[in-house]
Amino acid sequence: MVGIWVSAAWASAAPSPSVLVVGGSMMNGDHFADATLPVMREHFAGCRRVVLVLHASHPEDRDRTELRLQRAFAHLGDIAAESLHRVDEAEARRRLLAADGIFVGGGETFVLLRELYRTGQWEVIRERVSAGVPYAGSSAGANVAGQRIGTTNDFPVADIPTRDALAIFPAVINPHHPCPGAPDFGARAGKIQSYLRFNPAETVLALGDASIARLHEGKVTFIVGYGRVYRAGEIDEVTPGQRLEHVR
């Protein structure tokens, strides 16, 4: 059993946060890919209104991205999805407070984190997730769910006040992690190991494309795809269905 330990605060929180992180490339056209569809349906079961946080995508791309995700969520189970990019900050806050699900899309992680802090949505999302509202994030959206943005793969295209992220998932995320045998596998693994030499107290969860891990009821389970857990001087490959942490 791979251990990414959860603190007592995580264990005792009621209700328990429900957070799903995806390595990216989770779409098949206007639907979620077959590999990701079942867990997305389970994760958002009972939701009727999901807020889309698309800050990481370029403004010119947000309308198109919203439309794809609206169709994907409707296919999940007749869930209405609406993006915050069409409304002002006060209305965005109101929608976050009223939503029963949150989905944060991919793109530029530094832009995403900057906007979460600038708008005050960082705090609102943390509060909603702590209250039990399910959160899912893909690529950049997975990065900001972690403890901090440390292994993002992104260029710093925007200034940020801090690398501290939402900290609703108990690891640092590396999305789009290559599978063994891919040309860039060794380089990525080496970069993460170098990062951990400078940050030895951190744990990095690496997720391949369309790979998913889920925090639910106080434990993290690797659901589907390819994944690795990196710690200083230690690497564990994980398999679907494997529990990645347990509460003590």
Residue 243 lies in a domain: no
Is 43 noted as a catalytic residue in this protein? no
Considering the candidates 176, 177, 209, 211, report the single residue annotated as catalytic. 176
Is 16 noted as a catalytic residue in this protein? no
How confident is the prediction for the chain on average, in pLDDT? Answer: 93
Is 154 noted as a catalytic residue in this protein? yes
Residue 248 lies in a domain: no
- Is the predicted pLDDT of residue 166 greater than 60, yes or no? yes
Q: How far apart are CA 176 and CA 231, in angstroms?
A: 18
Residue 244 lies in a domain: no
Residue 3 lies in a domain: no
Q: How far apart are CA 122 and CA 136, in angstroms?
A: 15
CA angle 182, 188, 193 (to 5 degrees): 140
Residue 2 lies in a domain: no
Mean pLDDT on 135-164: 97
Q: How far apart are CA 241 and CA 243, in angstroms?
A: 7
List the CATH number of the domain containing 166. Answer: 3.40.50.880
- Is the predicted pLDDT of residue 145 greater than 90, yes or no? yes
Considering the candidates 43, 55, 154, 209, report the single residue annotated as catalytic. 154
Considering the candidates 18, 57, 138, 139, report the single residue annotated as catalytic. 139
Residue 2: pLDDT band with limits 50, 70, 90: low
- Is the predicted pLDDT of residue 7 greater than 90, yes or no? no
Higher pLDDT, 235 or 16: 235
Q: Please, are residues 144 and 116 in contact by the beta-carbon 8 Å criterion?
A: yes
Domain limits for position 178: 8-238
Residue 245 lies in a domain: no
- The two beta strands, 49-53 and 135-138, are unpaired
Q: How far apart are CA 121 and CA 108, in angstroms?
A: 17
Higher pLDDT, 2 or 141: 141
Residue 22 lies in a domain: yes
- Is the predicted pLDDT of residue 6 greater than 60, yes or no? no
- Is the predicted pLDDT of residue 78 greater than 80, yes or no? yes
DSSP state of 166: -
pLDDT digits (tens, 9 = 90+) for 11-44: 444 688 999 999 999 999 999 999 999 999 999 9
Residue 247 lies in a domain: no
Residue 8: pLDDT band with limits 50, 70, 90: very low
Number of structural domains, the chain?
Answer: 1
DSSP state of 41: H
